[in-house]
Amino acid sequence: MTQFGKHLEKGLRDLGREACWRAIKDAGIRSDQIQAGFCGNALGGYLQRENGIGQSVLWQVGIKGIPIINIENACASGSSAFREAWIGVASGLYDVVIAFGVEKTVMKKGAMLDVGDADLEVKIGDVFPGLFAMRAQRHMYEYGTTLEQMAKISVKNHRNGCLNPYSQYQKEFTTDEVLNSPMIADPLTLFSCCPNSDGAAAAIVATKEVAKKLSAKPVKVLASVLGTGLYNNKKDMAIFDLDFKLSKEAYEMAGVGPEDIDLAEVHDAFTIAELMHYEGLGFCKVGEGGRLIDDDKTEIGGKIPVSPSGGLLSKGHPVGASGVAQIAEIVWHLRGEAGLRQVANARIGLAHIMGGGKEGDVGACTIHILEKVNEF
């Protein structure tokens, strides 16, 4: 992946090219060995008026004349591209493919991403900070979750981000600094929300036979699931129904349970989101997410490290790239290549991201479970 942040001097093609070249070099292959490409991007057509991004990026790394597919699925665009790459290889259609995500969110300082304004909810003010603020208020009411517990998630993730050279923000904050930062949507303050970011991430997906020849440290995809919300506006806003449904599917596909996960990267666009994902992914019971962070169980040295990369809160959130960047982070930990933030003896990792919304529900969500492979 590239470093996430504000890259005013680089465009979508520059960022995408950098990430794809790194993935190709890491795999030890030639560009002309890649049989298909899948590009995740959410905002290029809206913010940069640029289409066909996959073709433009891959042409610059010598990839042409093959199927190239561009995928828009909100924050899950990159992870959806990775899933399509996995399907292409798992089905036997291809032997080696590339999946990448890339995004530039060029906006005025302090501005909020205003996409989705064709929906009635957005027109009347139901934008993401407001929606997650309502989720936070409901979770606090239902389960006694506190402002301090949510703030601790930001503190943890910014501390982790300081250990990650790819992170947009590499500065620690105290709980008081998070709580006293400018209010965005009560109870979510500025440091409770992820930043707008630029960046790209890429991955090579191959068959077992090809992987034997390419990598000394292969990682296996145990599960790949994708789902969409039911748009039931009478649902309980203190839980993500889709987390429960898709994690069950992913665990069954992988043949593991939440107790087997050694680390996880989740969609922590807001602090309350990470806390709710603890519960939806089965890392604790519903209503006990606050206790999990209080007991330091989601720290890098804890029982289930969550967002060791710094998460979206600190690493940044270039929308179309975030899902593939999560995959990269999990792979580095399983290979033992995560440096100062390395989770010890990591064998199985989970990457979770969701995006978009309608009727108070989730537009798209993916979960991938990856396993370290010692030998085939």
As annotated, the active-site residues are 75, 317
Distance from first CA to last CA of the chain, Å, rounded?
A: 27
Residue type, 170: Q
Quote the CA–CA distance of 40 and 335 in Å, as a whole number.
Answer: 25
Tokens 């790209």 correspond to what residue?
200
Which neighbouring-strand residues pair with 264?
306, 350
| DSSP track, 147-162 | HHHHHHHHHHHHHHHT
Quote the CA–CA distance of 368 and 260 in Å, as a whole number.
Answer: 14
Quote the CA–CA distance of 166 and 154 in Å, as a whole number.
Answer: 17
- Using alpha carbons, select from 59, 4, 3 the residue that is nearest to residue 319: 4
Three-class secondary structure of residue 276 per DSSP: helix
Percent of the chain as helix, strand, coil, to the nearest 5: 40, 20, 40
